[in-house]
Chains A and B, each alone.
Chain A
Amino acid sequence: NAGVMQNPRHLVRRRGQEARLRCSPMKGHSHVYWYRQLPEEGLKFMVYLQKENIIDESGMPKERFSAEFPKEGPSILRIQQVVRGDSAAYFCASSQAHSNQPQHFGDGTRLSIL
């Protein structure tokens, strides 16, 4: 029973490039969440998606960041024109549709900006 799968585990980009982070939720999970952890800081919520819908994007930076969870395939967190401050660990979590179901996390993507 595979858990939440994130890839790549490590991603290196130069300033100005695009970063695409992928997340495949656990089997049977239709809710996906993205969190960011800056160095030496706690996890911060970014966005909550259900299939083909963004439910809560209150934690997403206003520019350069976008997320999607298409009907088929993994959820994608996209960062355009990356800057050094985007260097962080990005974690994806998934849960079942029913309320009060715990979120289960992947092992994250470590993004480094040169």
Chain B
Amino acid sequence: DAKTTQPTSMDCAEGRAANLPCNHSTISGNEYVYWYRQIHSQGPQYIIHGLKNNETNEMASLIITEDRKSSTLILPHATLRDTAVYYCIVRPTQGGSEKLVFGKGTKLTVNP
């Protein structure tokens, strides 16, 4: 079972920031937080991952709370092409399974 909890769906206006929350209250000290998204009928796309520090790349920012029990993925200027299902996944850094355990994710709809 997935170790994360996400809202089922969210809406966002085009051009505005999309903030997608994720709870991972049972996360262990050696587990990373990964974010992927799946646009309809395509393969999952890697977005970003982090351990405890906030991370930013060309696609998004990842904000992890100090206690690491939750995180937020931020798409700074959402476009219609960002409409997708977003998955938050925790994964061990080493010594654990390499597999990704996908939950149901958040269906983000970006509206014009």
The chain A residues found within 8 Å of chain B, CB to CB, are 4, 31, 33, 35, 42-45, 48, 55-56, 58-59, 89, 91, 93, 95, 99-100, 102-108
Residue pairs across A and B with Cβ atoms less than 8 A apart, 20 shown, are A33-B98, A42-B102, A43-B100, A45-B101, A48-B98, A48-B99, A56-B98, A56-B99, A58-B97, A58-B99, A59-B99, A100-B32, A100-B49, A100-B93, A100-B94, A103-B46, A105-B43, A105-B45, A106-B43, A107-B42
> Closest A-chain residue to B35, C-beta based?
A102
Instruction: Report whether A31 and B43 are in contact in the complex, using a CB–CB cutoff of 8 Å.
Output: no
- Per the bound structure, the CA–CA distance linking A103 and B49 in Å amounts to 11
| Contact (A102, B46) CB under 8 Å given A42-B104, A42-B105 | yes
Residues of A with C-beta under 8 A to B93: 99-100
- Could you count the A-B residue pairs with CB atoms below 8 Å apart for me: how many are there? 57
| Contact (A107, B43) CB under 8 Å given A99-B93, A100-B93, A102-B49 | yes
B44 to chain A, nearest CB (A): 5
Residues of B with C-beta under 8 A to A33: 98-100
Number of interface residues of B (CB under 8 A): 21
B95 to chain A, nearest CB (A): 9
Q: A102-B34, A108-B42 are in contact. List 5 more A-B contacts (CB 8 A).
A: A42-B104, A43-B38, A99-B93, A105-B44, A107-B42
- Per the bound structure, the CA–CA distance linking A19 and B100 in Å amounts to 24
Residues of B contacting A: mostly: loop
> Closest B-chain residue to A6, C-beta based?
B43
Residues of B with C-beta under 8 A to A93: 43-44, 100
- Per the bound structure, the CA–CA distance linking A89 and B44 in Å amounts to 12
Residues of B with C-beta under 8 A to A89: 41
- Per the bound structure, the CA–CA distance linking A108 and B42 in Å amounts to 7
Residues of B with C-beta under 8 A to A58: 97, 99
Instruction: Report whether A31 and B98 are in contact in the complex, using a CB–CB cutoff of 8 Å.
Output: yes
